[in-house]
Structure 1
Amino acid sequence: MTYKAFLIKYAEIAIKGKNRYLFEDALVSQMNHALKKVDGTFHIRKEQGRIYVEMEGEYDYDGAVEALQHVFGIVGICPVVLLEDEGFDALAGEVIRYIDEVYPDKHFTFKVNARRARKNYPLESMEINAQMGERILEAFPETSVDVHKPQVMFNIEIRNQINVYSTVIPGPGGMPVGTNGKAMLLLSGGIDSPVAGYMIAKRGVTIDATYFHAPPYTSERAKQKVVDLAKIISKYTGPINLHVVNFTDIQLYIYEQCPHEELTIIMRRYMMKLAEHFAKENKCLGLITGESIGQVASQTMQSLAATNEVCTMPVYRPLIGFDKQEIVEISEKIDAYETSILPYEDCCTIFVAKHPVTKPSLNVIHNDERKLSEKIDALMQEAIDTVEVIHIEA
């Protein structure tokens, strides 16, 4: 069957009270953006707490569904038939025609779920359920009714137009991107940080990203891997400005001046400072990392406190209590995993100490960082001045 419309379902937006229209408008904007690259002509409209996508002529059905499945705020995409109200007999005929076309095999159990949003319709919801169920059984005696666990649910919504649908394709949920500010993601080539960016964007936050590159210790392939990961998550987050920071000289200087067991923590502190600089420059309201308590030496409670100390804006860590397998499952769900595990080194793994400190003392860290005072400010400024910004869009 060629559908000419989708009914879009959302969840949290419905409880936003007087601000609800702002969230709906943001969702419509994100949907328009997602459908731009899909073959076909699409028109999106709001009506009585519903959002519809209507299509003109031929279009790419699978492409449209896939695009909408990447729009945060959508919980269901329903291929729907929109009918004018021409009486119950005409409606029953259209429902029979719909079933005959959509379900070649009629051996299924069903339930009719009517909702009378327009109260001037002559039949109440329960009457529609009973009478429509009777018509379906007469037309297709091989079907049967199961009101508890039906194989097919026929939804009939009586609105300005009558909505008939039986398929609800899951959306990603969450809130529309752009409704909850902007944050800077510290994006590496690993599994965790792309998932962290995805999860924060799911709550309506616009994402930019910072990647620390260390040539010649990290290759162009490692950089391209990060660009590819940014492109994958941008399917959900929208366009991302990726800040590629040359971190080599800073890392080497820390390596020369500081105890090796503290390298990771001290490098991480300077990464946070640089990421925060670009975050403020881009009017972000916080930083995002993929850290999880205890996963590695730099992610113990003491280590996280040491890196937090250099930040003046909030640091959001959506994976903080996740097991690695839970993170991997989300990475696979968003199609980032296979790219994340490509064997290209990142700047952190090159300078890892054999025995990194797991419970760093801030007093010791402060004393060791004083050894950097001669050149670190100039090196930081050079990293800022030479940053490469790549605009990434799926």
Structure 2
Amino acid sequence: MFLIRYQEIGIKGRNRYLFENKINSNIKKALYPLGKGKIKITNMRGRILVALGDAEPSKAAEYLSRVFGIATFSPVIKIVAEEEAIYQSSEAVMRQALERKGIKLGENDNVLTFRTNVKRADKTFPIRSMDMAARLGSYLLDNIPGLKVDLHNPDLSVSVDIRDGNAYVFSEKLPGPGGLPLGTSGKGILLLSGGIDSPVAGWMCMKRGVEIEALHFHSFPFTGEKSKEKVKDLCRVLARHNNRIKLHIAHFTDIQKSIQKSSCPEDFRITVMRRFMFRIAERLAAKNNALALVTGESVGQVSSQTLENMTAINEVTKLPVLRPVVAFDKNEIVEMAQKIETYDISIQPYEDCCTLFLPKVPITTKPSLDKIHKAEESLDIDEMVNDAMEKIETIYITSNS
């Protein structure tokens, strides 16, 4: 059994129930492979109680740690909120924690520091929180030799959450990813290149409740199956938080060749190419009820990511463009990629469509819109976009597919 805590959901107003319903649904979806429908979820004020049935607790903890909206969670013992029962259960939880840590008190003068925490949300419980915490600490000192109180930096804490006539006793507080429940903030199309930045951007939007569908631009035969598989692997990591990710693969070779053969100046080609990507992404968003585009752009990181280039690229879409890492430096993005476990995949040496078609001359950093429009004059934009849309391949990716 787990007691789940959230943060942002707790400060919502009259629509709070929508967020609670969504996180409940996401928890059920995350744990379904373990319990096959036997998982029971109960909402309490500011908490969610998950009864696992016969599901494996360690596996359930792994899955819960990926559910956006969960701030922290704890494996708990649930008992009736009576003083003696709290003492006995807290002693059992303490002994389990000692065994888990491999600590044998009393041997070689081993001493363990601890503290007790009591939260009394149920005011019908007759003992105030501070008084109950003091009594519980005294009980544990009397019954488990080798303990020593340390209120500031203890080796171990035993906590009791009293609510609705029950007490929940625990010694661990495990971290969740935080944020908002996935699906409460609409849907976005993630332009997923296969590099370091875009998977981080996708993860960060997911943390804010945005459901993600990925769009990858593939330039066969210049980029091969290994490049495509790399993108699928990135989607598998992101799918850990969503059970599955919808991956759209746009065949981009013809568009790139047309740009190369056109009168478009070489230093404008990357900007023009990205404008085509945004046009296709916008069309895909309309088809799939998405409300925004998501990219991994960071101001000034490369020549095509100046504010002037971003403005020129944005011109072709009416949708908001979310750039979660826009103010991150590369080291910060790398640290986040390592944290979410996409970095090792992203650095695999398979080139994407952008790197293969880099011009020999420096990319313009300050393109004017007039020059961009002139560069596109010889291109049949609508026909090129329509052709790319007709060839899009869609795959559903799960974390273990």
State the TM-score bracket (shorter-chain normalisation). over 0.9
Residue identity in the other structure for 2:131: E
Match for residue 78 of structure 1? 74
Distance 1:66 1:255 in 2: 48
Distance 1:318 1:348 in 2: 21
Which of residues 26, 29, 37 in structure 2 aligns to 1:33?
29
Distance 1:232 1:89 in 2: 46
Report the secondary structure of 1:17's partner residue: coil
Distance 1:60 1:93 in 2: 25
Q: What do the CA deviations read for 1:210-259 (whole angstroms, capped 9, x no partner)?
A: 11111111101111111111111121244322111111111000011121
Structure 1 stretch 229-238 or stretch 240-249: which is displaced more? 229-238
8 Å Cα contact 1:207/1:237 also seen in 2: no
The Cα of 1:290 is off from its aligned counterpart by: 0.2
Distance 1:313 1:55 in 2: 42
Distance 2:284 2:215 in 1: 8
1:43 aligns with 2:49: no
Report the secondary structure of 1:185's partner residue: strand
8 Å Cα contact 2:6/2:46 also seen in 1: no
Distance 2:350 2:356 in 1: 11
Match for residue 135 of structure 1? 139
Structure 1 stretch 134-143 or stretch 233-242: which is displaced more? 233-242
Match for residue 318 of structure 2? 312
The Cα of 1:39 is off from its aligned counterpart by: 6.0
Report the secondary structure of 1:111's partner residue: strand
Distance 1:33 1:168 in 2: 22
The Cα of 1:65 is off from its aligned counterpart by: 1.0
8 Å Cα contact 2:184/2:210 also seen in 1: yes
1:117 aligns with 2:132: no
Distance 1:371 1:123 in 2: 80
Structure 1 stretch 284-293 or stretch 88-97: which is displaced more? 88-97
The Cα of 1:16 is off from its aligned counterpart by: 0.4
Match for residue 157 of structure 1? 161
C-alpha root-mean-square deviation of aligned residues, in Å?
1.4
The Cα of 1:43 is off from its aligned counterpart by: 1.7
The Cα of 1:271 is off from its aligned counterpart by: 0.5
Q: Normalization by structure 1: what TM-score?
A: 0.95
Match for residue 257 of structure 2? 252
Which of residues 6, 23, 29 in structure 1 aligns to 2:19?
23
1:145 aligns with 2:149: yes
1:54 aligns with 2:51: yes
The Cα of 1:266 is off from its aligned counterpart by: 0.4
1:101 aligns with 2:96: yes
Match for residue 345 of structure 1? 351
Alignment of 1:1-394 (within 5 A): 5-38=1-34, 41-57=38-54, 59-85=55-81, 87-104=82-99, 105=103, 106=105, 107-159=111-163, 160-257=165-262, 258-354=264-360, 355-373=362-380, 376-394=381-399
Residue identity in the other structure for 2:175: P
Q: What do the CA deviations read for 1:94-114 (whole angstroms, capped 9, x no partner)?
A: 211221232132432111111
The Cα of 1:391 is off from its aligned counterpart by: 1.4
Residue identity in the other structure for 1:133: G
Q: What do the CA deviations read for 1:109-165 (whole angstroms, capped 9, x no partner)?
A: 111111122222221112211111111111123111112222222111222211111
Report the secondary structure of 1:44's partner residue: strand
8 Å Cα contact 2:35/2:53 also seen in 1: no
Distance 2:353 2:304 in 1: 14
Report the secondary structure of 1:103's partner residue: helix
Q: Percent identity?
A: 44
The Cα of 1:62 is off from its aligned counterpart by: 2.3
Q: What do the CA deviations read for 1:269-315 (whole angstroms, capped 9, x no partner)?
A: 01100001001111111100000011111101111111011111110
Residue identity in the other structure for 2:257: L
Residue identity in the other structure for 2:151: V
The Cα of 1:264 is off from its aligned counterpart by: 0.4
8 Å Cα contact 1:198/1:237 also seen in 2: no
8 Å Cα contact 2:97/2:171 also seen in 1: no
Distance 2:84 2:348 in 1: 60
Unaligned runs of 5+ in 1: none
Distance 2:176 2:242 in 1: 14
Q: Normalization by structure 2: what TM-score?
A: 0.93
Residue identity in the other structure for 1:126: M
Report the secondary structure of 1:18's partner residue: coil
Report the secondary structure of 2:298's partner residue: coil
The Cα of 1:60 is off from its aligned counterpart by: 2.3
Report the secondary structure of 1:164's partner residue: strand
Report the secondary structure of 2:363's partner residue: coil
Report the secondary structure of 1:229's partner residue: helix
